[in-house]
Structure 1
């Protein structure tokens, strides 16, 4: 292997990692600048076959997710992409968001409301034929959402009753 080729591979791998770290922490401004300079970055996928938009959806970063509206019809090619476990974007929303991301919303019921709104937002972006597709575990996005959010729903119900009294 030529020295230049190895250097290019290492540089590409390192650059891609930075891209996904930026998406994971939700640095929208920096990501926008990267995409302006290198538009092909929207097609990059990580080791799990996820784009920056999948990472944004999974981590509830609305600013990055909203970039999908700005890229036009290309979004219809990105949103149906599935990761290495056959999860599309909607199924990634079904998984419960890290508690740390939910702490900025007071009250468990409001946290659940935020999660539901996020699920419906992404559901509207996904092509209809992908909304009920099952992953390798045999779950639809809605089934996964219900299963993952069962405890949060129970806590929200208790919180609402306690607040009402």
Structure 2
């Protein structure tokens, strides 16, 4: 499979809600993407048994800081989320440049992606499916992150709740 060095562009103007743009899954489904050349800021949220408690507040504050720093990416967006435990999650916001006052980081490696649609309670099933897909392609994977493509209100408006799962591909040790 070809490794994509660029994230798919998004038409941020295809936006009926004034919040989240319409998501087009075909560009993201069953791809290998390299994230080495992208800058992110990392923030954390609190959870209770994997249910986010302060996500809205943390995301709003983070987005305001990114915008104030002029670090918005103009033709795409990506926020990758990963549960660290039942009580805490980390989130990686794609940015154009480093943002003072936030933890700036990069993600290394290639990631296999697959798009799923449905309720968040399906996440364990989706993760199992993604693991089986990657193993079937002879790829060994490590860890999962989710790109929730729309907020719950926009998912309801568009009638689809797309989630892109990213799994890091382990490099061959030979």
Higher relative contact order (CA 8 A, sep 6+): 2
Q: TM bucket by the smaller chain? A: under 0.3
TM-score, normalised to structure 2, is 0.22
What TM-score do you get using the length of structure 1 for normalisation?
Answer: 0.23
